[in-house]
Structure 1
């Protein structure tokens, strides 16, 4: 699998959608220069902007930050560049990333399932 960057993923999905940098900037409310800097990996978009770009390109935020082409074959294959590097690699941040991909019904179900895990002894933290 070829390693890629967030900027290259934005560029790849933008071209796949047949959008120019200028048009992507207009739709997302960003400057064309900002899109250029993202695609050249001179700047990293924050999560709010990543969501705007992902929505515009009809992809998920995960698609934009995974290494390699398209979706990663396994969890934990995040791009190791700021601001996502080590912060995104934690279980809580990974859970938040996937949680944000769900609609309201999916988020309600996710909360129920996590709550269910708290009733299974082997998954509960032991008191010290």
Structure 2
């Protein structure tokens, strides 16, 4: 049953994302509570077969597309991290105005170096040569810019 829960959860997340539907919208379309949809997504429970048929109809897919493990043609592109899923879930819960504002803010963040450059962390070093001290000072100065 845990494989079934996992399959339903991941397929439902994928279909919701592809169709830009959030938990609230899905629950209304299926006539179930948001917490019920949340339990499916968190692999705590599974929908009854009648609801699976509704989901399949809603997303225009076969029941097997919900119940069975998803087989993708694009293996890396279809893997989504928890952070990206959370970001997409939050984005999908916004209305049209909120989505425009979110895109604007993300665009602004990508223009700020401290949010786009990789972080360099200093570590302990027993080398006390003048060159090494100069390098550490430069690292600290760079960190101050964050």
Q: Which TM-score applies when normalising by structure 1?
A: 0.49
Q: Which TM-score applies when normalising by structure 2?
A: 0.43
> Whose helix fraction is larger, Structure 1's or Structure 2's?
2
Choose 1 or 2 for highest CA Rg.
2
